[in-house]
Amino acid sequence: MGSVDHCLAGVTVGSGHNINKTAGLNIISSMPNLQHTQNKIVIGDDGYVLEDVPHLSDYIPNLPTYPNPLQDNPSYSVVKQYFVNVDDAVAQKIVVHKNSPRGKHFRRAGPRQKVYFEPDDVYACIVTCGGLCPGLNTVTREIVCGLYHMYGVSRVVGIDGGYRGFYSKNTIPLTPKVVNDIHKRGGTILGTSRGGHVTKKIVDSIQDRGMNQVYIIGGDGTQRGAAVIFEEIRRRGLNVAVAGIPKTIDNDIPVIDKSFGFDSAVEEAQRAISAAHVEATSFENGIGVVKLMGRDSGFIAMYATLASRDVDCCLIPESPFYLEGHGGLFEYIERRLKENGHMVIVIAEGAGQGLVSESLKSTDPSGNKLLPDVGLWISERIKEHFLKQKKMVINLKYIDPTYMIRAIPSNASDNVYCTLLAQSAVHGAMAGYTGFTVGPVNGRHAYIPFNRIIEKQNKVVITDRMWARLLSSTNQPSFLRTRDIIKENKEEEPPTQLANDSTSTDENSVEKQILC
Catalogue the active-site residues: 250
The kind and range of the H/E element at 469 are: helix 465-474
Annotated ligand binding at 171? The verdict is: no
d(CA 423, CA 54) in angstroms, rounded, equals: 19
CA distances from 466 to 209, 281, 423, 443 (A): 49, 28, 31, 18
CA distance 150 to 386: 63
**β-strand 395-399 against 342-348: which pairing, if any?**
unpaired
Interatomic CA distance for residues 89 and 106, integer angstroms = 5
DSSP H helices in 258-319: 262-281, 299-308
Backbone dihedral angles phi then psi of residue 211, each to the nearest 5 degrees: -75, 140
Q: Is 400 annotated as a binding residue?
A: no
Measured distance CA(243)–CA(447) in Å, rounded: 9
Is 302 among the annotated ligand-binding positions? no
Query: Which residues make beta-bridge pairs with 91?
Result: 105
Return the closest-CA partner of residue 216 out of 237, 187, 241, 185: 241
403 is in an annotated binding site: yes
The values of phi and psi at residue 273, to 5°, are: -65, -40
Cβ atoms 40, 29 nearer than 8 A: yes
Strand, coil or helix: what is 50?
Answer: strand
220 is known to lie in a ligand binding site: yes
Do the annotations mark residue 324 as ligand-binding?
no
SS3 196: coil
Decide: 29 and 224 in contact? Cβ < 8 Å: no
247 close to 259: Cβ distance less than 8 angstroms: yes
Cα 204 from chain centroid (whole Å): 28
Q: Is 493 annotated as a binding residue?
A: no
333 marked among binding-site residues: no
Instruction: Determine whether the annotation assigns residue 294 to a binding site.
Output: yes
Distances (CA, A) of 275 to 30, 190, 279, 280: 53, 33, 6, 9
**CA 431, 435, 439, 441 torsion-angle sign:** negative
Length, in residues, of the chain: 516
221 annotated as ligand-binding: yes
| Alpha helix stretches (DSSP H) within 89-191 | 136-151, 165-168
Q: Tell me: is residue 443 an annotated ligand-binding position.
A: no
3-state secondary structure of 200: helix
Are the CB atoms for 311 and 270 separated by under 8 Å? no
Q: Is 250 annotated as a binding residue?
A: yes
**HEC states along 434-461?**
CCEEEEEECCEEEEEEHHHHHCCCCCCC
In the chain, DSSP finds a helix count (H) and a strand count (E) of 15, 19
222 is in an annotated binding site: yes
Is 52 known as a binding-site position? Answer: no
Annotated binding site for Mg(2+): 220
What residues are designated binding site for substrate?
A: 248-250, 293-295, 349, 403-406
Binding residues: 131, 194-195, 219-222, 248-250, 293-295, 349, 403-406
Binding site as annotated, residues for ATP: 131, 194-195, 219-222
